[in-house]
Structure 1
Amino acid sequence: MTEQNTGDVRIEPYDSPAGGWGSARSLVEILTREGVPVTGSAMLMKQNKPDGFMCVSCAWAKPAKPLAFEYCENGAKATAWEQTRRRATPDFFAAHTVTELLGWSDYALEEQGRLTHPMRYDPETDRYRPVSWGEAFAEIGQELKALRAEDPKSVVFYASGRASLETSYMWALLARLYGNNNLPDSSNMCHEPTSVALPQSIGAPVGTVLLEDFETTDLLFFFGQNVGSNAPRMLHPLQEARRRGAQIITFNPLRERGLERFTNPQSPVEMLTRSATKISTQYHQVKAGGDLAALTGLCKILIAQDREAVAAGKPAVLDHAFIAEHTNGFEDFVAFCDRADWPGIERRSGLTRTALEAAAAAYARAKAVIGIYGMGLTQHRKGTETVRMLVNLLLLRGNIGKPGAGICPVRGHSNVQGQRTVGITEKPELAPLDRLKELYDFEPPREKGLNTVESCEGILDGSVRAFVSLGGNFLRAIPDTGRMEPAWRRQRLTVQISTKLNRSHLVNGTVAYILPCLGRIEIDQQASGPQAVSMEDSTARFHGSRGVSDPVGPDVRSEPWIVAEIAKAALPHNPRIDWDAWVADYARVRDAIEATYPKVFHDLNGQMFRPGGITKPLGARDRKWETETGKANFAVPEGLEADPDLPERGPDVLDLITLRSNDQFNTTVYGYDDRFRGVKGTRDILFMNRADITRLGLKDGGSVDVEAVAGDQVARRVGGLRVIAYDIPPGNCGGYYPELNVLLPLWHHDEQSKTPAAKAITVRVTAAT
């Protein structure tokens, strides 16, 4: 394993709240380090403002009435990281071989700064060398044409979640014109169970909660979502909810600081007095993968209490009128809950019946409840079933389709939800293929495309010959990296459209290109003038975004321009599509989006900068259920186990949860500190329960090796991790993503969506040899 530390390693308890002076100091540090202390501060004032730019970090909602500083610590880090004064120029690549760079850490690679020139890999010198844009597109087009003639399904068009609606629409159209639906995206790795579960349950692929629902809710459930590190701006509406008396009940294996206490950095009083708001009113440390059992326990309690109340002539606990009018499958679900036994629920959830009764009692008293969740629910073998169980809990009391209530998946990348809305999907039934045929006079492919796991399988078996990536660090984000990297090199073509250098650029196909693109914060000047783009937030609202800074260099191009040039180089001419006109004026792309999706978009050009955004039509918000039954469906899971096919957990086997630090965003590592968990200077960490450390004969602070226990005869091992005794359930341990992806088998994924089950990797931990 590549060493992931600075040499100055300290492990010290951190007792301060989320936000506060710790957040302020972290912001000053990164702005200074990246050389943008003054300009960065000015840019931040335009971040997430109605006429400014959308944060390039998470997808949390953009309010109609923003705060003076409408950004969080991680959003500010993302801005500083993109606007750094550092540059990865051709001189840098001339000075370093790819083999040398492969030994660098993720942080060290991205810290070289912004890419400035299109580069082609030269196998003779093992270096990237600069090429002209014309040369790059000529060869990429030639390679793609040859592969298309052999088999158009051999090429994958991947998209990270940051590209705008405009770029995403063009990218999806490019892939289908090429001849396939191979459009995996970052959602495949995190929230695909949401996209599968919610249509089955409520007939909508996204959450139903709007930002204003936080103003009227009585209770919020949190399941497997670390708000302090992954969506800190949400802490502001959570703090306001707590101040007016709303309850927040958290289910999470680790005690995360953002769900415990928060000091608002924008409040002079709180900063000066160092006061903090208690966020969670109940905090239940469920075992990894135990949410399915915990949710079953909550529903079982409510059903039993309802029977008792009705029998005693008291008001019902369940909303029987809602259930009768709006739901299907209630009786079968009740039978499942009745069959579930308390010893099994307690054993698998890691929670006592008494603890679950306390949470159920608060839920029974609340009039409007929001269910919030993250990858702690989705990244399991039964991730889709677990999401549907959370919907079941909400349906029992009519908590979908009314103010202050609903289901709220918290998405990661800033436009990962919007990409799906405009056609980036491997599932042909989710794309308006007939409309595309009508608009552009071609026969769209009707065969299902490859998702992330299937793309990896294709790379392993050789059926995938080329990988063209619109952003991201795919090779670092995927499972089984020890197997995937050698297979990746057998591809004919790899193309990376990127802002910064990462490991995916260094494991090359035979022909490999890096194409540097503008970031969202930069002014995108085209023939008709400066361009704006649009995206969709986690609450299904569309917003406009304008660049505010000068481009990183004269040889860097916009994503729409790069996509258009690839399309022109690789595809036959289509008289219905004027790629150059689209690039000259992105408003024309938005017109095309409206023409393709008339039920979703109306006057996007005219309203995209409206404060608060444009609300996406969603039937479930109005209790119109676009399901096969015409109602919201209760789901009956197969059992209580979220990862039923893992090897038997013996006394020496633990369930590993991959985690993100508060100094990273997905695969981007901003530094080696994890302030909230008391870690400074390293990422070579394994968090363990103190009793497990003692039981396995290990030492707090000692060095350990971790080996995956997968039962498939493939060796997956990481060595040299430092054990830290931590408040984590017994039988569980935690370590950092993406470094520990090498331990995650490719086949270990959600059964329905194929999202990698990164929150439940069975491992054996031994003292380092």
Structure 2
Amino acid sequence: MTSHKPSDPFKNASGGWGSLKAVTEILLQEHVAIDGSRVLMHQNKPDGFMCVSCSWAKPKDPHTFEFCESGAKATAWDLTAKRVGLDFFSQHTVAELNKWHDHELEEAGRVAAPLRWDPASDKYVEVSWQQAFSEIGDELKALDPDSAVFYASGRASLETSYMYQLFARMYGTNNLPDSSNMCHESTSVGLKQAIGVGVGTITLEDFDKTDLIFFFGQNVGTNSPRMLHPVQDARKRGVPVITFNPIREPGLVSFVNPQSPIEMLTPGSTQISTQYHQVKVGGDSAAIAGICKALLEADDQAVAAGQPRLLDVAFIQQHTVGFDEFAAFVRNTGWEQIETLSALSREALTEAANEYSRANAVIANYGMGLTQHRMGVQNVRMVMNLLLLRGNIGKPGAGPSPVRGHSNVQGQRTVGITEKPELAPLDKLSQQYRFEPPREKGLNTVEACEAILAGKVRAVFQLGGNLVRSVPDRFVIEPAWRNLRLTVNVTTKLNRSHLVHGAVSYILPCLSRIEIDMRAGQAQAVSMEDSTGCMHGSRGVAKPASEALMSEPGIVAGIALATLGQACTVDWTEWANNYALVRDAIAETYPTIFHDFNERMWTPGGFHRPIPAAERKWETKSGKAEFLTPTTLAEDPDVPTSQPDVLRLFTLRSDSQFNTTIYNLDDRFRGIYGNRMVLLMNEHDIERLGLSEDQEVAVETVAGDGIQRRVAGFKVVRYDVPAGCIGGYYPECNPLLPLWHYAKESKVPAAKSIPVRIVV
């Protein structure tokens, strides 16, 4: 294993030849070098398919190669020539497969036929689709609807997501948790409170008009690399980029565009961040408060000198409430406290404030580094406070930009995947389909896990995803998961959730979005929403991995029909054979967003959903944009971390990973090879705690709830992280995250700051 010392960071820019090599390697690894190269030419193109990994925006004028390294890996992963069929399960029991590494499970290949677990042999055996649908329907009919959970990953299309939420509600439950619960629910809550809509307000065009770009807790180089194209263009115009992140990520330092022959053939690269502040884990609210404090102090000086104001006073007076209380809080907060909590100097934060004060239009990008904290909603609100001070919302080139993860995670919420009944158009659904939807609040992901532990949930349906691996407290959750009556998994590949299963368990293999979807003799298309609120059509171009695969809409329709019966007011069979009918239904339910859906879905660059806040229309309780006065700037007031041996663990993803999918065990950007069981530690902490590099240690959570959470087998790696903080990979560190350690108000698991100690 290799590691970089703090003085020896990764020397190469992100992108460039390293990305091209990684793409070539994954195509060869999956034995699809020729077919994969052909298919990639259609990725994120108006006549092709939308990437199955991240949700970053798709331009109306795409590049020749409109894919990134991460997207190419996701495509190769689905396009693989490897198969999981009857021969595979004839050789392996579930008990044996449970000993495999997560990477080995998915690397086995595409699941080729529907499967049912056989308890006698402890193997999955093939079943017909009709048998699977009928048996699942019988199981669901025997249960109380509120004892079933319908989870959706962000990969499902708008059409599938709409059908799925309608099926669950006709069945009788609002138990519709999704991957947003795990990551950006803090955004959905925080932005809704601040500006009246739970999504960002910027589009790709805003990057052409901005004067300054912020990044807070978002690793663009591995999580959404195509985003580097507009950022690089902005940098070439001289636009500053200010980054706050505990680790110096290569994608936020410099970038070589693989699309540019000149950049590829010369030693140069584009510097991305003009200021890079390595904020302490959990110190983001304090850092933003410091920028605001420096700005207020500079504004006071401008007033005293008779110079132009630095605050947008007219905007604040006309469009906001709560400014005076927030300003008083910031003024009364001392610099010493801000510096201690953020681990950044007054001078550094003042430098950021000075740059901010010179910019007329500012975009604030942020990711899970802000949302996955106990104070995650407050972190989001603090970003909004910063933008509101200078009117940076509702004008070209400015606004909040929450960078979502999975490809349609925002879109599935738009069409009704939510456990919160107030966010779904229940009255409209009732009128449209002549049934009475349930009105009680459903379970989010954390609440679903709590109910599984309590024995109140008997069935879990996963539309994609790998919940067993992604949820917190894995060592506590897995035994309870095995007590479920029914588990149903719609998937393309084998994963841990298929092996930790209920008494009755099915693996239902679906077509990938990359593949041609023929229904009733016609090729079908689907759609999704990107993280800037634009809707895009997507048409598969590759031959399906198996003739036995079924589309996600077809699977949902089959189970809905088997469960609800012929008397249902939805013609599920017609919908499964013609997705245009589903889009017509979506347009009827949501006419403001989806009118003329079928006609507009192929608009180059997508068609944009109306976002009132982008027009300075505030659908908040007050009717205006709202400043928030923090209750505290401390990362987690409920967990004492003042003990010298208590560290803040934050989870990371590698450059060879997407969510729980691990393409290989290397992380070239961080210099980690062949091993994910590592702890990235500050060299002073290593010395202070009497440790040595490459030493094998265990980590245990400081929780105080009587449950011991310990994971052994980590190796210490000296790395440039703030003192008192350590980094470890997700999902390997999930057993250390208590289920109750989540963001206030949003219940997003607080994976970016877990109090732990190292045990030798």
Identify the TM-score tier after normalising by the shorter chain. Answer: over 0.9
Deviation track 1:341-383 (CA, whole Å, cap 9, x = no partner) reads 1111110001011100000000000110000000000000110
| Match among 25, 50, 54 for residue 50 of structure 2 | 54
Gaps of 5+ in 2: none
Deviation track 1:478-530 (CA, whole Å, cap 9, x = no partner) reads 00000000000111000000000000000010101100000000000001500
Measured in 1, the distance between the counterparts of 2:596 and 2:333 equals 51
Corresponding residue for 1:19? 15
Measured in 2, the distance between the counterparts of 1:583 and 1:566 equals 11
Deviation track 1:418-450 (CA, whole Å, cap 9, x = no partner) reads 000000000000000000000111000000000
Measured in 2, the distance between the counterparts of 1:133 and 1:66 equals 39
- Code of the residue aligned with 1:502 in structure 2: it is N
Deviates more, 1:12-21 or 1:685-694: 12-21
Contact 1:20 1:274 in 2 (8 A): no
Contact 1:61 1:211 in 2 (8 A): yes
Corresponding residue for 2:131? 135
Measured in 2, the distance between the counterparts of 1:580 and 1:127 equals 31
- Code of the residue aligned with 1:251 in structure 2: it is F
Question: SS state of the match for residue 697, structure 2?
Answer: strand
| Match among 1, 26, 32 for residue 28 of structure 2 | 32
Contact 1:284 1:351 in 2 (8 A): yes
Cα RMSD for the two superposed structures: 0.9
Corresponding residue for 1:561? 554
TM-score by length of 2: 0.99
Measured in 1, the distance between the counterparts of 2:271 and 2:611 equals 33
Corresponding residue for 2:155? 162
| Match among 215, 228, 238 for residue 221 of structure 2 | 228
Contact 1:10 1:681 in 2 (8 A): no
- Code of the residue aligned with 1:85 in structure 2: it is A
Corresponding residue for 2:566? 573
- 1:254-293 map, 5 Å: 254-293=247-286
- 1:309-458 map, 5 Å: 309-458=302-451
Aligned-pair identity in percent equals 63
Question: SS state of the match for residue 739, structure 2?
Answer: coil
Corresponding residue for 2:718? 725
Measured in 2, the distance between the counterparts of 1:442 and 1:602 equals 23
Question: SS state of the match for residue 527, structure 2?
Answer: strand
- Code of the residue aligned with 2:396 in structure 1: it is P
Q: 1:575: Cα distance to partner?
A: 4.7
Contact 2:743 2:750 in 1 (8 A): yes
Corresponding residue for 1:714? 707
- Code of the residue aligned with 1:383 in structure 2: it is G
Contact 2:200 2:532 in 1 (8 A): yes
Structure 1 consecutive aligned stretches of length 4 or more whose deviation exceeds 6 Å: none
Q: 1:574: Cα distance to partner?
A: 3.9
Corresponding residue for 1:498? 491
1:97 is aligned to 2:93: yes
Question: SS state of the match for residue 759, structure 2?
Answer: strand
Q: 1:184: Cα distance to partner?
A: 0.3
- Code of the residue aligned with 1:162 in structure 2: it is R
Contact 2:213 2:364 in 1 (8 A): yes
Contact 2:681 2:721 in 1 (8 A): yes
Contact 1:302 1:364 in 2 (8 A): yes
| Match among 77, 80, 84 for residue 88 of structure 1 | 84
Deviation track 1:297-326 (CA, whole Å, cap 9, x = no partner) reads 111111121122112110000000000111
| Match among 123, 132, 142 for residue 119 of structure 2 | 123
- Number of residues of Structure 1 aligned to a counterpart in Structure 2: 756
Corresponding residue for 1:66? 62
- Code of the residue aligned with 2:102 in structure 1: it is D
Gaps of 5+ in 1: 1-8
TM-score by length of 1: 0.98
Measured in 1, the distance between the counterparts of 2:461 and 2:567 equals 21
Q: 1:124: Cα distance to partner?
A: 1.6
- Code of the residue aligned with 1:90 in structure 2: it is L
- 1:627-706 map, 5 Å: 627-706=620-699
Deviation track 1:239-279 (CA, whole Å, cap 9, x = no partner) reads 10000000000000001000001011111111111311100
Contact 1:386 1:642 in 2 (8 A): no
1:178 is aligned to 2:171: yes
Contact 1:383 1:642 in 2 (8 A): no
Q: 1:452: Cα distance to partner?
A: 0.4
Question: SS state of the match for residue 142, structure 2?
Answer: helix
- Code of the residue aligned with 1:42 in structure 2: it is R
Contact 2:588 2:595 in 1 (8 A): no
Contact 2:3 2:718 in 1 (8 A): no
- Code of the residue aligned with 2:274 in structure 1: it is T
Measured in 1, the distance between the counterparts of 2:81 and 2:707 equals 43
Corresponding residue for 1:518? 511
Measured in 2, the distance between the counterparts of 1:689 and 1:363 equals 30
Measured in 2, the distance between the counterparts of 1:40 and 1:271 equals 22
Deviates more, 1:97-106 or 1:447-456: 97-106
- Code of the residue aligned with 1:59 in structure 2: it is S
Corresponding residue for 2:748? 755
Measured in 2, the distance between the counterparts of 1:620 and 1:304 equals 28
Measured in 1, the distance between the counterparts of 2:640 and 2:244 equals 25
Measured in 1, the distance between the counterparts of 2:415 and 2:180 equals 14
- Code of the residue aligned with 2:14 in structure 1: it is A
1:79 is aligned to 2:75: yes
Contact 1:184 1:452 in 2 (8 A): yes
Measured in 2, the distance between the counterparts of 1:301 and 1:647 equals 29
